[in-house]
């Protein structure tokens, strides 16, 4: 690793301009600039070498100009894309991070980043698992699956659970957590390969390819003849309407995400909301950031499950920053099989 104070070249993925509709690879470009590896004197900043970057659907919302300061800020055109990643500290003015430490949190899509706001950084203390897992199962998507399923859905043994976008970063974990709880779990995904993965590797009881189903209501009815107790929603749109018609009394719908809506200028409407009323359904949205204070408790439960092989994690690895724009854009056509990670460097 390069030494402190040295100025080195820095390959970056730059966000070109605000996006309308589906994002394209050309909404970003790769350029090389230079960076000092020294944290500013007297500051709390950290300079990191980025190792693994996370591609997440919410990043699409940051590609749209958003003037509302209460929401996630937009990316800044002309500057590197920002997102979750795993990195190694090169220099630090922060009392909690020292050179050589590994961390995960918000960083830049570039080889080296100067991070001035260390609020969202977590030190990595367990390295007996793949480091890339801190972009997924041990990072933001893992926390999302855990908090969304256990806190928002309040599952009980034997309940019927439906997960949409089930083979992705979050969905594959929700399904496995539900199986560990003794639930019956069905997932939907967008290809034959993903359906096989759900049934044969991830332990789902059943799965279907929603792209092959003209009638989603009947597809769900076939999988859940007695109805759904818990619907973990990642997709939105038509799937919500189909789900609502298949819920049981006192069912819970955790609204984790609505990836089918992120690229639409006009979101689709939902017709079947009346079912919330007469079936006494609780439909609740949640944001993972509200649960980050429970990160150590989360690690205490999930790390042993990984080590004991009770939970597995499927990753889709793109090599190099050059391939990062395609990897990110690919999320919106289901190119990723499992958690989409970009490798910048392996230490
Ligand atoms: N609430 C929170 O705090 C929070 C935190 C993290 C993530 N999320 C949300 O959780 C959801 C899953 O995120 P993830 O990281 O696990 O992503 P992911 O599932 O790993 O990747 C996105 C997947 O969405 C599916 N998809 C894309 N466009 C679609 C469409 N039009 N209709 C149906 N499915 C579509 C694709 O799978 P198929 O091949 O199956 O179509 C794609 O692989 C997203 O909605 C995300 O925004 C929420």
Report the distance separating Cα 95 and Cα 121, nearest Å: 13
Task: Please name the residue whose Cα sits nearest to atom 42 of ligand 1.
Answer: 334
Distance 165 CA to ligand 1 centre (A): 6
Q: Is the CB of 254 under 6 A from ligand 1?
A: no
Q: Which residues contact 8 (CB under 8 A, 6 or more apart)?
A: 2, 34, 35, 37, 111, 112
pTM of the model: 0.97
Q: Are the C-beta atoms of residues 188 and 164 closer than 8 Å to each other?
A: yes
pLDDT of residue 72: 83
Please compute the mean of the pLDDT values over residues 195-214 and round it to a whole number: 98
Give 259-298 pLDDT, tens digit per residue: 999 999 999 999 999 999 999 999 999 999 999 999 999 9
Q: Label residue 4 by pLDDT band (50, 70, 90).
A: low
Query: 188 pLDDT exceeds 80?
Result: yes
- Classify 130 as helix, strand or coil: coil
Q: Collapsing DSSP states into helix, strand and coil, what is residue 232?
A: strand
> Once rounded to an integer, what is the mean pLDDT over residues 118-129?
94
Residue 201, helix vs strand vs coil: coil
Q: Is 193 helix (H, G, I), strand (E, B) or coil?
A: helix
The answer on pLDDT for 36 being more than 50 is: yes
Of 265, 270, 198, 281, residue with least CA distance to 239: 270
The residue behind tokens 């949190």 is 105
Task: Give phi and psi for 322, each to the nearest 5.
Answer: -60, -30
332 lines ligand 1 (CB under 6 A): yes
Q: How far is the CA of 284 from the centre of ligand 1 (A)?
A: 17
Per residue in 38-83, pLDDT tens? 998 889 999 999 999 999 999 999 999 988 877 888 999 999 999 9
Residue whose pair of structure tokens reads 């854009």 in the numeric block: 329
């Amino acid at each position: 690793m390069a030494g402190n104070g040295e100025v080195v070249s820095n390959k970056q993925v730059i966000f070109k301009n605000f996006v309308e509709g589906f994002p394209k690879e050309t909404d970003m470009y790769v350029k090389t600039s230079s960076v000092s590896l020294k944290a500013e004197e007297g500051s709390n900043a950290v300079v990191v070498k980025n190792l693994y970057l996370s591609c997440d659907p919410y990043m699409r919302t940051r590609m749209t100009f958003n003037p509302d300061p209460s929401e996630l800020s937009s990316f800044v055109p002309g500057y590197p894309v920002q997102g979750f990643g795993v990195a190694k500290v090169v220099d630090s003015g922060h009392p909690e991070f020292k050179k050589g430490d590994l961390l995960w949190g918000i960083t830049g899509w570039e080889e080296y980043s100067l991070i001035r706001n260390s609020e969202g950084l977590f030190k990595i203390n367990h390295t007996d698992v793949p480091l890339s897992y801190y972009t997924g199962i041990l990072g933001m998507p893992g926390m999302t699956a855990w908090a969304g399923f256990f806190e928002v859905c309040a599952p009980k043994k034997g309940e019927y659970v439906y997960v949409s976008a089930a083979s992705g970063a979050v969905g594959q974990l929700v399904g496995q957590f539900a199986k560990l709880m003794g639930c019956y779990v069905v997932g939907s995904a967008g290809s034959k390969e993903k359906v096989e993965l759900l049934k044969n590797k991830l332990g789902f009881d059943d799965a279907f390819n929603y792209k092959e189903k003209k009638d989603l209501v009947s597809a769900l009815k076939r999988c859940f003849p007695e109805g759904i107790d818990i619907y973990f929603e990642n997709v939105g749109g038509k799937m919500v309407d189909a789900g609502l018609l298949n819920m049981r009394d006192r069912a819970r719908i955790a609204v984790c995400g609505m990836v089918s809506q992120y690229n639409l200028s006009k979101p689709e409407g939902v017709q079947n909301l009346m079912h919330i009323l007469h079936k006494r359904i609780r439909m609740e949205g949640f944001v993972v950031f509200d649960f980050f204070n429970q990160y150590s408790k989360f690690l205490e439960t999930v790390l042993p499950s990984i080590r004991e092989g009770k939970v597995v994690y499927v990753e889709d690895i793109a090599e190099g920053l050059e391939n990062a724009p395609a990897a990110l854009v690919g999320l919106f056509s289901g190119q990723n099989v499992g958690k989409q990670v970009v490798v910048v460097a392996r230490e």
